[in-house]
Amino acid sequence: MKVIILGGDDEPATDELVKKVQDYIAGDNNLGERQAPIGADVTVISAEAITININANVVIDKEITTLEKVQALFKNSVENYLKENAFNSNTIYLSKIGGLLININGVLDYTDLKLNNNTENIPTNDEQVAVTGEVVLNEK
């Protein structure tokens, strides 16, 4: 039996946390009780991080905001989106990321949105978790 875990921040777990969970399930804990079913070999691993780098050109209303503010708000929105969807979706959708960007106050339009230098969705599997990498917005 394989158990895949995340850390408290919905990102890959530390080696220390993986060991604590493994020890707890295997019965190597202060309780001395095995938590796994009898006869089951249990392996605990951390989810593998899939870094999502984002690039886009944006048109902003300079009377409302600045490029720096948009970039900070957008990165925060992406981080929240990825954390909320950890283990809930096997795809990072380009259109969802674009929706986060266009919904930032002061963003009028965007072009050339890319995830990991590509204009396609990014698939993940049950052992992976997407994490925010570099976010670069250029003013158009």
* Number of structural domains found in the chain: 2
* 13 to 1, 16, 18, 24, 77: CA distances (angstroms): 18, 8, 6, 15, 22
The conformation of residue 61, written as its DSSP 8-state character, comes to -
The neighbouring-strand residues paired with 50 are 130
Residue 119 pLDDT more than 90? Answer: yes
| Domain ranges, residue 83 | 48-139
Where is pLDDT greater, at 105 or 37?
A: 105
SS3 71: helix
CA separation for the pair 129, 79 (Å, rounded): 12
CA angle 19–25–31, rounded 5-degree value: 100
pLDDT at position 30: 64
CA separation for the pair 43, 127 (Å, rounded): 13
Same domain? For 74 and 133 the reply is yes
Same domain? For 39 and 83 the reply is no
Same domain? For 64 and 34 the reply is no
Same domain? For 125 and 83 the reply is yes
Residue 34 pLDDT more than 80? Answer: no
The conformation of residue 10, written as its DSSP 8-state character, comes to S
Same domain? For 55 and 9 the reply is no
What pTM was computed for the model? 0.83
Same domain? For 22 and 87 the reply is no
Same domain? For 11 and 75 the reply is no
Mean pLDDT of 90-97: 96
The strand pair at 128-139 and 107-115 is best described as unpaired
